[in-house]
Amino acid sequence: MMQKMISKEKISDLIKELQKEFKVFGPVKEEGVVLFKEITDAKEICLDYSNSKIPAKSVLFPMIDTLFSYKKEGKGVKIIENPPYEKTVIFGIRPCDSMVFSLFKNFFSFGKYKDPLVLNRLKNITIIGMGCLEPRTTCFCTSVNGGPFNKESVDVLITEFKDNYYLESITDKGEALIKKIKSLTDADKGDLAKIEKLQKDIESAIPVIEGLDGIYTKLDGLFDHPMWKMESQGCIGCGSCTYLCPTCHCFDVLDENKQDGSGRRIRIWDTCQFPLFTLETSGHNPRTTKLPRVRQRIFHKFNYYPKNYNIIGCVGCGRCIINCPVSSDIRNIFISVENISSKTEG
């Protein structure tokens, strides 16, 4: 573990240094909305933010992702592979959002099929996370095995303290990176203890949601429970909860053709909340109403994920609560689940 620091003013020097070797993605404010984008100008970076509107999964799993391109040649078709993925740093990501990277690693390499695109990107990405000094009231990361300064899924963790950023390397990859950066100085040892306390204070201030403990087994018996009718009746069936969820990763594959005979195969975000998602070629649709779709979202994250990968498919960022057009709150579902299961136990 290596601990370094840099004054806030010099942060753009650090970015510039990183840019020499890496493509750097970081939070950028556009039209009042914070997004993760490639930093072209070091001044663009916006570190005074609670969390980005669209999670940083968009770096690893873009909204439009070209799988390959093609061009008609004579009677055949020539496949054109994507250019090699450049070495990338994701800078300033919140520890909750970075949890997604290990989750994606599991998902995109599950079973026989490995997704070369995502796995290759993962290999080439270094994550510089940024501790969360001001968790929102909608955050519940500590209830899903995370925390505002969670180190599990970052290579480097930055904590803001007074006028400085403190950088702590977590992985070897992170340490190697820090070592190279000249604009960093050694950390002020006196502050480190204070930082640790600050981190603990912030973490313990986040309320713990009781129902989440062991939700996976609790859900097992609730597939046909009437609670889903209640929970789904207000849902309008849009995709905002899933598109803005750091862990959702469903996609649709389609071809885009140009008139000149060239084209590309892309994947775009898709969501289980749309009726078309499950429409089969035969015309049959196993999820025709809102109810099974709302239930699917919860089961996928809190039952299937734990079963398949031993991970909860939720990082507690609260985006779905903030952005739901009908103000449906996932925490209420946890409470319902808890109430029902404690009743049946009792």
For binding to another protein (CB under 8 A), which residues are involved? 30-34, 49-50, 53-54, 63-64, 66, 69, 134, 136-138, 233-234, 236-240, 243-244, 252, 254, 256, 258-260, 264, 266, 268-269, 271, 274, 276, 321-329, 331-332
Q: How far is the CB of 16 from another protein (least distance, A)?
A: 26
Tell me the DSSP string of 252-287. Answer: EEEEEE-TTSEEEEEEEE--TTSGGGG--TTS--S-
Task: Supply 163's token pair.
Answer: 């006028």
Nearer to another protein, 244 or 294 (CB): 244
- Give CA separation, 212 vs 127, 139, 207, 218, in Å: 28, 13, 12, 9
Q: How far is the CB of 335 from another protein (least distance, A)?
A: 11
Nearer to another protein, 7 or 137 (CB): 137
Task: Supply 115's token pair.
Answer: 């997704």
Q: How far is the CB of 199 from another protein (least distance, A)?
A: 17
Residue 309 CB-density burial (10 A; 0-12 exposed, 13-18 middle, 19+ buried): middle
Q: How far is the CB of 33 from another protein (least distance, A)?
A: 6
Task: Supply 198's token pair.
Answer: 């600050």
Q: How far is the CB of 171 from another protein (least distance, A)?
A: 31
Q: How far is the CB of 212 from another protein (least distance, A)?
A: 16
Nearer to another protein, 53 or 173 (CB): 53
**Which residue intervals of 181-264 are DSSP H helices?**
189-205, 215-220, 227-232, 240-243
Amino acid sitting at position 26: G
Contact 291, 273 (CB under 8 A): no
Q: How far is the CB of 261 from another protein (least distance, A)?
A: 11
**Which residue intervals of the chain are DSSP H helices?**
11-21, 57-60, 95-107, 116-124, 172-180, 189-205, 215-220, 227-232, 240-243, 290-299, 305-309, 319-323, 330-345
Nearer to another protein, 182 or 258 (CB): 258
Q: Which of 64, 71, 69 is nearest to 82 (CA)?
A: 69
Q: What letters, b where the CB count within 10 A reaches 16 and e where it falls short, cover 103-123?
A: bbbebbeeeeeebebbeebbe
Nearer to another protein, 137 or 185 (CB): 137
Q: How far is the CB of 35 from another protein (least distance, A)?
A: 9
Q: What letters, b where the CB count within 10 A reaches 16 and e where it falls short, cover 67-87?
A: bebbeeeeeeeeeeeeeeeee
Nearer to another protein, 262 or 308 (CB): 262
Nearer to another protein, 66 or 120 (CB): 66
Mapped onto helix, strand or coil, the DSSP state of residue 345 is helix
Q: How far is the CB of 229 from another protein (least distance, A)?
A: 10
Contact 250, 271 (CB under 8 A): yes
Task: Supply 346's token pair.
Answer: 């009792």
For residue 110, what are the contacts with CB-CB under 8 A and spacing of at least 6? 308, 309
Nearer to another protein, 74 or 190 (CB): 74
Nearer to another protein, 176 or 230 (CB): 230
